[in-house]
Amino acid sequence: MEHQIPDGLRLIRRLEWPEVFEIWRVNEEHRDGWKTHYKERGFASWEDWRMSAAKAFGLPELSWNLYEIFSPSETVPTFHGGPFRSWIERFYGGLVMPSFAELIANRELRAHGGVLAMIENFPENTVITGVLTDVGVVIAEGMHRCCAVTLAAASGRDIARGMRIALADYGSRRMPTKVGTEPKQ
């Protein structure tokens, strides 16, 4: 089953999974906080940690395209948060894959230091990763950036320039209910 590409996206080119994973690596691997996070969970490297999440989603098997996001302040709030254990427990308030417009209603998220700092120093030409489902675009990587864009937009600020998304159609696959960062066995 193919889902319709949402308004506000323009196809740039086809991507292969290794390119998508490399985009993810460039976005995250250099950040010290992630190193502590994956080591505490028993993973030897960023790659081992994130590949476990990617496989839980079935991302390596999908067909990928890169899209430009026109007017991120209008489009990104319609995207949905992925089924991540920590986000579900901390911010979702019982909602299942809430849109970012719904998600920023959470008071704790509105005061999240990382999101607020990102609003003031949003990365130019950033690429997030998502899958197209029956509910719309569900974010697999880029949750904090989507929250920052949406929170800024709610106060009338347009902070994202050159924002793109690596996007794959999820077809009729069933979305996992919780993707966590459990330690490797």
CA distance 59 to 75: 22
Measured in Å, how far apart are the chain's first and last C-alpha atoms? 35
CA distance 115 to 132: 24
pLDDT beyond 60 at 58: yes
CA distance 129 to 118: 18
CA distance 60 to 24: 13
**Spans of all domains in the chain:** 9-16+63-169
Over the stretch 13-38, which tens digit does the pLDDT of each residue have? 999 999 999 999 888 767 777 777 78
- 178 and 88 in contact (C-beta within 8 Å)? yes
Over the stretch 155-179, which tens digit does the pLDDT of each residue have? 999 999 899 999 999 998 888 887 8
Tell me the two tokens of residue 162. Answer: 């050159």
- 69 and 9 in contact (C-beta within 8 Å)? yes
Say what the pTM is: 0.92
CA distance 183 to 175: 21
Over the stretch 115-154, which tens digit does the pLDDT of each residue have? 999 999 999 999 999 999 999 999 999 999 999 999 999 9
